Amino acid sequence: MPFDSLEVSTVLPATPERVYEAWLNVAQQAAYTGAAATGEAAVGARFTAWDGYIEGANVELQPPSRIVQRWRTNEFPPSAADSTVTVLLEPEEAASTRITLRHTGIPEGQGDGYRQGWLDYYFEPMRRYFSGE
């Protein structure tokens, strides 16, 4: 079965430690997305985001630089395997962070929608959250 893959990146006005924590802390994630999230920052822990639209599990956690998660939405066909989301956090000048997200194993034909979704529903809300907007 063919798959889509994508990579998106931006700079956020926060340290890698803050971005790492906000990605995995359900209260902070709910604050920047405006939607309910569940889970904990532990390898193997299951999580949900966006009021249950997203679900998965933490595969690898390397604070504050790398997060790997098994990931799927309710738009994945039931027979589709989970995709993999890898979040890389690199320090930039002025206490900022370059966040690079690699998303692989997306059901064929869904990649473009998820690319825009990461930008609109994660990166931009995180920028506003860390900017205090």
The number of distinct structural domains making up the chain is: 1
E strand or H helix at 111, and its extent? helix 111-118
How many CB atoms are located within 10 Å of the residue 98 CB?
A: 15
Any domain includes 46:
no
Helix, strand or coil, per DSSP, at residue 63 = coil
What range does the domain containing 104 cover? 3-23+59-131
Q: Is the pLDDT confidence value at 1 over 80? A: no
Q: In what order do the strands lie in the sheet with 96-107?
A: 3-12, 96-107, 83-92, 66-73, 54-62, 46-49
Helix, strand or coil, per DSSP, at residue 23 = helix
The predicted-structure confidence for 32-80, as pLDDT tens digits, reads as follows: 999 999 999 999 999 999 999 999 999 999 999 999 999 999 999 999 9
Distance separating alpha carbons of residues 60 and 75, to the nearest angstrom:
24
Locus of tokens 């194993």:
105
Any domain includes 116:
yes
Structure confidence at residue 2 (pLDDT): 84
Any domain includes 35:
no
Any domain includes 72:
yes
Using alpha carbons only, how large is the chain's radius of gyration in Å? 14
Any domain includes 99:
yes
Any domain includes 83:
yes
Helix, strand or coil, per DSSP, at residue 119 = helix
Q: Is the pLDDT confidence value at 117 over 70? A: yes
pTM (predicted TM-score): 0.96
Any domain includes 104:
yes
Domain with 105 in it: what CATH number? 3.30.530.20
The predicted-structure confidence for 76-103, as pLDDT tens digits, reads as follows: 999 999 999 999 999 999 999 999 999 9
